[in-house]
């Protein structure tokens, strides 16, 4: 369905075009009342959208594909798993999708499913626990896996580990020494480099590791965001490539706002320096980059905000989505111009896919 609330939100941030989901000729039609939940583009033209819609026979999870930047969509084969929500979760369910290329992709959430033929078929991958995060780059796919699902069957503090596999392979292996606890994990990948941050067993600085050689070797990094007196810690990681990595620090929340700052490293995270303080509005939810100069931070409270910098984080412009704080998910840039985000979640009753073609200056509702 087309949500007028989402249309007005797009107009409020200067969107200049609107595209509804439409099936391409001879392809399977898009399910009625489809609600997007997760998006993954491998180029400015080709992408996949995972979501759900009312259906007569479960599971109602659906996967859509576009080959023209979201102007038209078609339903393709999806994983045989229910869509996970706060109200409906099972050990087989999924809520996120990630594609490395046109052939290899993964759907995950409670479980992990993989396709190696461009979504023509899917198979279950058993990693022995709840899959919190998946990222792929440089010929490798990584997954943060928990020993149990938070809040299910008495699970309070899952033990976390990092798994990795060669893209195209169903053979996974644990990364020795990279481990943590809780229901929180950060995973950033770019080229042959990867960064992962997990929580310690008890209170304290985040545990951060990095690899610069496709996961062959790992070493730990200092958590330079950690300021216990201000309740501040690492809240996001993003890299434009090479040894440059941005760190989002956030903490001391209250009344719909919190302190947010940006740090940057040119040596893979071994040392960082403060770039700037961001506006207080909203609770930080993520960071994305489009090259070394274009940095984006998302936040939400009574509305959803995108803080945009075109000078490496030194100054910021704000775009506000008047959506009641629905939040922006899977916020990513595929090229310096083309970016996507899912606004809201299907369990909220109304979610939309947002697209920008001008580096985040304006956004358009692409699907709802």
Q: Are the C-beta atoms of 284 and 296 separated by less than 8 Å?
A: no
153 Cβ contact partners less than 8 Å away, ≥ 6 residues apart:
none
pLDDT at 235: 97
Is the four-CA dihedral 218, 224, 228, 232 of positive or negative sign? negative
pLDDT at 154: 76
pLDDT at 368: 44
Q: 110-117 long-range contacts, Cβ below 8 Å, gap at least 24?
A: 110/84, 110/149, 111/81, 112/143, 113/79, 113/80, 113/81, 114/170, 115/77, 115/79, 116/168, 116/170
Q: Phi then psi for 348, rounded to 5 degrees?
A: -80, -10
- Joined together, the tokens standing for residue 300 give 């939400």
Averaged over successive runs of 10 residues, the pLDDT of the chain (368 residues) comes to: 30 32 56 94 97 89 96 94 75 94 96 97 95 97 92 82 97 97 94 97 94 97 95 97 97 94 98 98 97 97 97 97 96 96 86 95 82
Which pLDDT tens digit goes with each residue over 100-134? 999 999 999 989 999 999 999 999 999 999 999 99
Q: Are the C-beta atoms of 341 and 288 separated by less than 8 Å?
A: no
Strands (E), 127-225: 130-137, 140-146, 159-166, 173-190, 193-199, 207-211, 219-221
Q: Phi then psi for 252, rounded to 5 degrees?
A: 55, 55
Angle, CA 335 vertex, CA 334 and CA 337 arms, to 5°: 120
Angle, CA 115 vertex, CA 62 and CA 36 arms, to 5°: 25
108 Cβ contact partners less than 8 Å away, ≥ 6 residues apart:
94, 95, 96, 97, 98, 131, 134, 143
Where do we find the tokens 């999870």? 61
The SS3 of residue 11 is helix
Query: Following DSSP, what letter does each residue of 221-242 receive, concatenated?
Result: E--TT-BGGGTEEEEEEEEEET
Angle, CA 59 vertex, CA 353 and CA 99 arms, to 5°: 45
pLDDT at 11: 26
pLDDT at 62: 95
Angstrom distance (rounded) from CA 90 to CA 142:
22
pLDDT at 22: 40
Query: Following DSSP, what letter does each residue of 82-111 receive, concatenated?
Result: PBP-SS---TT-EEEEEESSSS-EEEEESS
pLDDT at 142: 98
Q: Are the C-beta atoms of 63 and 76 separated by less than 8 Å?
A: yes
Angstrom distance (rounded) from CA 228 to CA 106:
37
pLDDT at 75: 95
Q: What is the pTM of this model?
A: 0.90
Is the four-CA dihedral 334, 336, 337, 340 of positive or negative sign? positive
Angstrom distance (rounded) from CA 78 to CA 118:
10
Q: Are the C-beta atoms of 15 and 363 separated by less than 8 Å?
A: yes
């Amino acid at each position: 369905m087309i949500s007028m609330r989402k249309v007005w939100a797009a107009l409020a941030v200067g969107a200049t075009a609107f595209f509804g989901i439409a099936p391409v000729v001879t392809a399977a039609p898009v399910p009625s009342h489809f609600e997007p939940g997760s998006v993954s583009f491998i180029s400015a033209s080709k992408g996949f959208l995972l979501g759900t819609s009312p259906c007569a026979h479960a599971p109602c999870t659906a996967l859509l594909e576009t080959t023209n930047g979201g102007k038209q969509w078609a339903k393709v084969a999806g994983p045989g798993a229910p869509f996970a929500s706060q109200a409906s979760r099972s050990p087989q369910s999924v809520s996120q999708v990630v594609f490395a290329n046109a052939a290899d992709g993964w759907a995950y959430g409670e479980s992990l499913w993989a396709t190696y033929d461009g979504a023509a078929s899917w198979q279950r991958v058993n990693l022995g626990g709840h899959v919190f995060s998946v990222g792929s780059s440089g010929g490798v796919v990584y997954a943060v896996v928990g020993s149990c699902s938070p809040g299910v069957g008495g699970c309070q503090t899952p033990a976390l580990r990092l798994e990795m596999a060669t893209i195209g392979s169903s053979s996974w292996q644990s990364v020795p020494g990279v481990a943590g606890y809780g229901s929180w994990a950060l995973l950033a990948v770019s080229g042959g480099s990867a960064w992962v941050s997990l929580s310690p067993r008890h209170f304290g600085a985040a545990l951060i590791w990095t690899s610069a050689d496709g996961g062959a070797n790992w070493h730990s990094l200092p958590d330079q965001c950690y300021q216990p007196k201000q309740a501040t810690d690492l809240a996001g990681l993003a890299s434009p490539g090479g040894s440059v990595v941005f760190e989002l620090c956030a903490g001391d929340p209250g009344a719909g706002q919190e302190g947010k700052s940006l740090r940057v490293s040119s040596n893979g995270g071994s040392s960082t320096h403060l770039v700037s303080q961001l506006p207080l509005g909203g609770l930080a939810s993520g960071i994305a980059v489009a090259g070394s100069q274009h940095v984006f931070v998302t936040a939400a409270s009574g509305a959803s905000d995108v803080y945009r910098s075109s000078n490496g984080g030194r100054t910021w412009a704000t775009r506000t989505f008047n959506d009641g704080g629905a939040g922006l998910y899977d916020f990513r840039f595929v090229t310096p111009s083309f970016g996507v985000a899912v606004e809201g979640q299907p369990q909220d009753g109304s979610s939309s896919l947002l697209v920008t073609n001008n580096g985040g200056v304006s956004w358009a509702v692409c699907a709802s």
